[in-house]
Structure 1
């Protein structure tokens, strides 16, 4: 029975096979087998990476393609669409693609920065209100009677560039005068040359080599050089010589003048500049030349004594913005015959909120004047909007704007706030006196001064809360070596010349890297070596610390570990060329992330006046 059932099953299977063979629908779905090797060749031919094979192949299916299998996927992963390219070629192609993306990002950032900088410059054109209203513009610089020696004028351009390159002098501007390497070739009279020698000035510094010929030629100028490089001489000597020339042609009568106006951000700096002008005036008078009269107009001093000098006829006025504006508004004197204007530490003056005062001062001029701007830190935002008020200006730059002096050894220490005042005694042992200590707040200055006196250290202190007589006595005692330590706010950081200072101590890190550069610039002056120690701690703004880190790297100074570990927006490796922020000059960030620009925009939007954000110690400038 089992045998008969087996036969029936076999018969049924055979019948089913015959029915399947006769079924025409199965012929339509039939797919001939194609070996794996041939399938791989077909795929390569499809993507164009291989020439069609010359080997005979079986006919390709016309209507249907074989479904890819796991074996096919494995073969594709081994061969791939770039199987004919070597790994080296594939690496080069990927590298080019990454570089293109990198360039696109870099160009985008630079474009954004340029637009932002232009918008800032457009808002702050440094021109007088009256000139802006009348559309007054001057096409040619003021002419003077001075010319360089003929043989220097005939120097070939290649020689002039070699001299500039040797002394790291960078010049921008049309028809810039050539640099001159001696005071004798600048045609100063023997009396002036002897006066310079008595001060130990034998040959000009790089800023003087290029700056003095430019100013003596009557050119408007932006002068940028590190602290202690002799910028003051570049604008004081020419104004003395110009005033002497005017006095010899036609003596100044009563109530006449001034011919030259020098504006400084602080009383101490104005006093120092006035003393230098008086020194040259006395030497000229001793040499038989007419007396050059100058007047110091600063707050905290008698207005009547200043009016008395002005009423006798004055050639040069040195002033701070506040007292100058007051006297101009009260018409104590005018600027009708003034043809020479210098803004010393121009960027700091504008940053401290005196921009509107400076613009108003420009409006008091009745004719074209020669305008000079000088500073150690002058970012592009100042340079750009200053050019709107200057006529074919010459920009003289010795080194990078805002760079620290290479003659100063910088040491940054992490000190807790409560331990700073005790740590001062240890820091003072690093060098011999004199030592200058900076603090941000007036209260800190008084506390440090009292502490040092209790420890038996000869110290004096100055800040904006002290009267002018006390400030002047303190500075003179320190300058003459009667006191070993001067404790001060930033009133002592702008341009003051203490030639013998061995050590500058920053009791706290200033809120602006430009203030830091000015502070440490009080030492290491005129080729001498100096040291600067800065205390920092957790509360210090990170953007300032990043600026400090890059400043130390630029000056080839030791970078402490806590600073080296910090990473900021300027450490993105994009290689943006001109490092740092074009608005404030900080190296640790770009203008698109500038905290100073953001703060300025916020204050402008809120309508806050200058008195609300002038730094401590600066309110009486």
Structure 2
């Protein structure tokens, strides 16, 4: 279905044409008509399927057709990174529209607080906010919610996982009872359905490819020992013509170790983790989007909600503990009908978690042994290794290349 078939205003279509948006994705095709008709909605769709446009376009269209002075739409999101990304998309979609927006998120920058406060007082039409920071502004008494028409919860499952339920309900207490409420989630556990019953009225439900990686992703896994992982990354990337790569790891210390090794081997790699302040993280993401950084090494902080086009390769340095997180991590590639590669490193301690992933996505992912120069890897036997904790040792730099029990020591010296 083409965007011209939804009945959008000329101004909205002009913005879509400028951004070269022509064909709607399945989630957009399924949700936009219901939103345009004023229905409450809960939509479940995997990351990278165009959910942001699915809810922004119809509410922007309504603002054009029936202008509202002051706040029209509130979008609640779990992280500042997602708030910033949605605000950037707002700038694109609303380029030809007389609509203002502001991203409201935490930080120690006094100027940031002042800009947010001024926008809230003057009545920005669209607010994209993290719950905690919005509550801080609400408690000051200058945020007026009486004109609000739309409440949108994006990545609602992640917000509940992060403990934002009470904050969400507190924010809702400030809102008009008569409003359109939309929930978008990558998963549909019982707690999401319960929240929908609390917030939505006579809602419609849309499910698109629940918990399945995009079809364009080539998935594979290497069965390796922990001390083979960093040498394997360097081996896999050496001589490859890949413009944009994300490597996910479970801890910031591992992220730092991976980045250090990559830079020592001549790769253009940067890290993003919680030790960086917001300004540094924003700068890293900007350079990565602009292709000034080839490899981004990250903790799970950006596994959801960051929309970067054209990711060639995603590497899971560690198997995610939560099977759902695997879908979100590999969803950074093969976005919007493109193709990509997702590789996961499985150590002995991770084999049970990887088995859960395969059960969730209802697919068996090909297992590959490490290259001969790195030596043999462990046996892949999730049942045998169930409960095995002897391999859960702290990641140490010296384990990359040497160690008394390293069967690859001889080969790695070559």
Q: Deviations over 1:14-40 (max 9, x none)?
A: xxxxxxxxxxxxxxxxxxxxxxxxxxx
CA 1:317 to 1:456, structure 2 compared with 1: closer, same or farther past 3 Å? same
Structure 1 residue 378: Cα displacement: 2.6
Can you list the C-alpha shifts for 1:533-588, whole angstroms capped at 9, x where unaligned? 1112122372x222123246x246436799985469xxxxxxxxxxxxxxxxxxxx
Deviation at 1:507, TM superposition (A): 1.1
Match of 1:468 in 2: 278
Report the counterpart of residue 194 of structure 1 in structure 2. 14
Residue 330 of structure 1: how far off its partner (Å)? 2.2
Matches within 5 A, 1:103-502: 181-247=1-67, 252=69, 257-284=70-97, 291-300=98-107, 301=109, 302-399=112-209, 401-429=210-238, 432-502=242-312
> How many angstroms apart in 1 are the aligned matches of 2:199 and 2:163?
19
Q: Structure 1 residue 454: deviation in Å?
A: 2.1
Q: Distance in 2 between matches of 1:381 and 1:307?
A: 33
Say whether the 8 Å CA contact 1:509–1:540 is kept in structure 2. yes
Aligned-partner Cα distance in 2 for 1:308–1:207:
35
Structure 1 residue 456: Cα displacement: 1.7
Higher relative strand content? 2
TM-score normalised per structure 2 = 0.84
- Count of equivalent residues: 372
Q: Is the 8 A contact 1:545 1:563 kept in 2?
A: no
CA 1:478–1:538 in structure 2 vs 1: closer, same or farther (change >3 Å)? same
SS in 2 for 1:282: coil
Flag the structure with more relative contact order, 1 or 2, with Cα contacts below 8 A and sequence separation at least 6. Answer: 2
Residue 558 of structure 1 is aligned with which of 366, 384, 387?
366
CA distance, structure 1, for counterparts of residue 253 and residue 282 of structure 2: 20
Question: Is the Cα–Cα contact under 8 Å of residues 404 and 551 in structure 1 kept in the other structure?
Answer: no
1:261 partner SS: strand
Please tell me whether the aligned partners of residues 266 and 320 of structure 1 are also in contact (alpha carbons under 8 angstroms).
Answer: yes
Q: CA RMSD in A?
A: 2.2
Secondary structure, in 3 states, of the residue corresponding to 1:283?
Answer: coil
Query: What's the CA shift string for 1:92-114, capped at 9, x where partnerless?
Result: xxxxxxxxxxxxxxxxxxxxxxx
Where do residues 43-122 of structure 1 align in structure 2 (5 Å cutoff)? none
How far residue 398 of structure 1 moved from its aligned partner, in angstroms, is 1.5
Task: Give the deviation of 1:380 after TM superposition.
Answer: 4.0
Write the distance in 2 (CA, Å) between the matches of 1:412 and 1:262: 37
3-state SS of the aligned residue for 2:94?
helix
**2 CA distance for matches of 1:392 and 1:258?**
24
The SS at the match of 1:219 is: coil
Gaps (5+ residues) in structure 2?
370-377, 385-414
Once the two structures are TM-superposed, the CA of residue 467 in structure 1 deviates from its matched residue by 1.0
Query: Partner of 1:222: helix, strand, or coil?
Result: strand
8 Å contact 1:546–1:567 — kept in the other structure? no
Q: In the alignment, is residue 513 of structure 1 matched against residue 333 of structure 2?
A: no
Mark the CA change 1:189 to 1:385 in structure 2 (over 3 Å): closer, same or farther: closer
Equivalence for 2:392: none
Once the two structures are TM-superposed, the CA of residue 466 in structure 1 deviates from its matched residue by 1.2
Answer whether contact 2:74 2:128 (CA < 8 A) is retained. yes
* Distance apart, 1:315 and its partner CA: 0.7
Report the secondary structure of 2:4's partner residue: coil
2:344 counterpart of 1:537: no
- Pair 1:331–1:447, CA change in 2 (3 A): farther
Q: CA deviation at 1:246?
A: 4.2
Give the whole-Å Cα distance in 1 for the aligned partners of 2:307 and 2:363.
22
Q: Does the Cα contact within 8 Å between 1:434 and 1:481 map onto a contact in 2?
A: yes
Q: Is the 8 A contact 1:243 1:260 kept in 2?
A: no
Contact conserved, 2:358 with 2:364, CA < 8 A, in 1? no
TM-score by length of 1: 0.57
CA distance in 1 between counterparts of 2:251 and 2:286 reads 22
Kept after mapping to 2: 8 A contact 1:431/1:503: no
Larger radius of gyration: 1
User: What's the CA shift string for 1:51-92, capped at 9, x where partnerless?
Assistant: xxxxxxxxxxxxxxxxxxxxxxxxxxxxxxxxxxxxxxxxxx
Bigger helix share = 1
Q: In structure 2, how many angstroms separate the alpha carbons of the residues matched to 1:558 and 1:419?
A: 19
Answer yes or no: is the 8 Å Cα contact 1:462–1:489 preserved in 2: yes
**Can you list the C-alpha shifts for 1:585-621, whole angstroms capped at 9, x where unaligned?**
xxxxxxxxxxxxxxxxxxxxxxxxxxxxxxxxxxxxx
Residue 364 of structure 1 and its aligned partner are, at CA, apart by 1.6
